Amino acid sequence: MAEIIQKDGIWVFDGDALRLTPGRDRNVGVLRRALGELVVPLGALAGISFEQGRKQGRLRLRLRDGADPLLHATGGRLAEPHDPYRLTVESDRYGVAEYFTDEVRDALLLEQVPGTPVKEYLLPGPPLPLSVSAGDGTASFDGERVRLEWNWKTEDVKAAAGPRTLALADILGVEWQPSAGLENGHLRFRVAGAPVRERAKYDPHAVELWGFKRDPLMALVAAAVQARLPHPSADGVPEVAPVPEAAEADHDALLRRLRELGELHREGVLTAEEFTMAKQAVLKRM
């Protein structure tokens, strides 16, 4: 058995699975805390890496595509404090981290675990029932239905129709997008026969997120629903194309946005970190 204990968390490998337990350090994100202990079977892993830094290092797990509904629903957009598959390692434990990495790699080779995508989820997703309040609403899921309820911050156009109850059988897909820079995020459900609004603030099937502390918890709802939808590799599952924001269709508008961000940064409205995040979000869309 291999084990590494850090303020950021505890990872244990028994040869068959890894147990990932979040630590109590203040840098551990709310999503990791809410997930609690994760058990990752060896067959779900595509690899492991350890990166050394001057003061701290990082252990990182790479899962096989399609193995975890959380990773599929969030699309690689989890920030490091909320990513359960990263562990901060103090410099005096680099030797332990290297040993841990070697043990997992040797097991992957011995069991001949392929790094190819899987055709079914190998992790179960968050337990149910589940309810999260963030942004302009509350999203609840009991395994059969999603319920969306609005608060006083919801746009009148969206709130006027009242709460929404979505049957799991009518949901085609789910997407969680964090806020980035000056752009808001969302938890969006694609529903059969229903049009999709470009902006989450007007979409009755989406919760708009503004970058506050509880926003990442909406990813739990996304993962729980995703775990009960047909696996993306299944035959006949329709591919739902992402809905572009209004500015995405206009290259000139994106260039204008970059100039605006630069001006806001020069004027001191945006910090260097906020400017970098916002700029990267725009460049990604270009």
Q: What is the pLDDT of residues 120-176, one digit of tens each?
A: 999 999 999 999 999 999 999 999 999 999 999 999 989 998 999 999 999 999 999
CA angle at residue 16 from 10 to 22, to 5 degrees? 20
pLDDT given for residue 248 in this prediction:
40
From the list 67, 19, 69, 14, the residue with the least C-alpha distance to 39 is 19
Give pairs for 107-112: CB < 8 Å, separation 24+.
107/13, 107/15, 107/42, 108/42, 108/45, 108/47, 108/48, 111/42, 111/43
Nearest-angstrom CA–CA distance, 33 and 26: 11
* pLDDT over threshold 50, residue 101: yes
- Band of residue 71 on the pLDDT scale cut at 50, 70, 90: very high
* pLDDT over threshold 60, residue 108: yes
* pLDDT over threshold 60, residue 237: no
3-state SS assignment for residue 181: coil
